[in-house]
Amino acid sequence: MKTSFSLNLLLRDNIKKLVPYSSARDEFKGEASILLDANENAFGSPYARNYNRYPDPLQHRVKEKLHRIKGVPVENIFLGNGSDEAIDILFRAFCEPGRDNVILVPPTYGMYEVSANINNVAYKKVNLTIDYQLDLDGIAEAIDAHTKLIFICSPNNPTGNSIRRQDIETILVNFDGIVVVDEAYINFSKQPSFTTDLVEFPNLVVLQTLSKAWGLAALRLGMAFANKEIIEIFNKIKPPYNINQATQDIVLEALEGVEIVNEWIKEVVGEREKLSAALQVLPQVAHVTPSDANFILVKLEEPRALYNFLVDKGIIVRDRSKVELCEGCLRLTIGTPAENNTLLKEVKRFY
Ligand code: PMP
């Protein structure tokens, strides 16, 4: 149990003082039949029914369902317009531009750095080790009095491996800022989620998303799980109606399909292992990093030429060959069995 954590010490002064936006419907708790408070169009829209009213700003029904699926209490759930919104809010809540800093552990998801730059917040990079694990000594050295956030992506994008749980716990215990564990790809992994550790670690924020295993990237629904005080801050900062009604409606239905999603996950994992094995035996493939995600990082000969060859065939993969520690690598998302077969066929044709 971590005891040395003070949220008040971490928060920016303007956020401590912030009076959040509130609507008449937040204040009014009863039943109303005539809604003349929010300047909506009472007639509705001729093109789409039931979208003339603003959506529930705290998405109670969606959170209730997520609670049933994930076991995390509603008060510990924040919903964002993609988890990218949660990443941005973390900067706005905790990092004073020009003063504070965050720690990134590359190669990792690019949005942490972009969000830091948008918010004019400095970052220190402590590269992963050559086996794509945390450099705990390097991180301990990089932490200073103004370090507010450490971003750890597990399973990591673009490498695909999980970060050792014990190492993440070491950072959670020793760092008094916020540790963000981005679990966008957790459904493809056998590793347990950190969502069960929120009580033990008050400085933990876990990110997940419906954009990957749940197949709902276009709807933009990301989740942050954290202690109640952190979630309250997220809710204070977010735009009032950040999750639109169409998304809330479709997600409520989609969350009924846990069994189907689990079947897809099994299929993706099976395809991942099949494709990894088939690539690994090619003489031009130096290495396939064992993956806990729905993509694989493959080190191979002539990555850029292969990338261009695939583009010509209408197949788009991600070229990571110039990224430090991913030299010579392409990142391949696992598609349908037919797509994966076509990819493999074209890779063989190229060589
Ligand atoms: N985290 C990681 C590690 C990702 O790879 C991505 C998407 N590529 C995201 C977060 C963003 O997800 P969302 O669609 O929920 O914004």
User: DSSP readout, 263-325?
Assistant: HHHHHHHHHHHHHHHHHHTSTTEEEE---SSSEEEEEESSHHHHHHHHHHTT---EE-TTSTT
> What tokens does 219 get?
């709807």
Longest CA span, the chain = 71
**Sheet with strand 147-153: strands edge to edge:** 77-80, 222-225, 204-209, 178-182, 147-153, 101-104, 122-125
d(CA 345, CA 350): 9
Top mutation candidate among 78, 81, 84 for ligand 1, by most atoms within 8 Å of CB: 84
Q: By the 8 A CB rule, do 184 and 206 touch?
A: no
| CA–centroid distance, residue 217 to ligand 1 (Å) | 9
**What is the ipTM metric for this complex?**
0.99
pLDDT at 26: 77
Give the model confidence (pLDDT) of 295-333 as tens digits. 999 999 999 999 999 999 999 999 999 999 999 999 999
d(CA 47, CA 132): 50
Q: In ligand 1, which atom is closest to the CA atom of 221? A: 15
Least confident of 21-30, 153-162, 258-267: 21-30
Give the model confidence (pLDDT) of 225-238 as tens digits. 999 999 999 999 99
| CA–centroid distance, residue 312 to ligand 1 (Å) | 27
Q: What is the dihedral of CA 70, 74, 80, 84, to 10 degrees?
A: -50
In degrees and rounded to multiples of 5, residue 123 shows phi and psi of -135, 150
> What tokens does 151 get?
């971003």
**Sheet with strand 295-300: strands edge to edge:** 285-288, 295-300, 329-333, 318-319
Instruction: Read off the pTM.
Output: 0.97
Q: Where residue 21 falls among pLDDT bands split at 50, 70, 90? A: confident
Q: Which residue has a Cα nearest atom 13 of ligand 1? A: 82
Q: Is the pLDDT of residue 74 over 80?
A: yes
Q: For 186-195, what is the mean pLDDT?
A: 98
Give the model confidence (pLDDT) of 259-307 as tens digits. 999 999 999 999 999 999 999 999 999 999 999 999 999 999 999 999 9
Top mutation candidate among 210, 211, 243 for ligand 1, by most atoms within 8 Å of CB: 211
Q: For 73-96, what is the mean pLDDT?
A: 98
- Residue 258 vs residues 40, 139, 289: alpha-carbon distances, Å: 35, 38, 29
Q: Chain-wide mean pLDDT for the chain? A: 96
d(CA 265, CA 42): 43
| CA–centroid distance, residue 109 to ligand 1 (Å) | 8
| CA–centroid distance, residue 90 to ligand 1 (Å) | 15
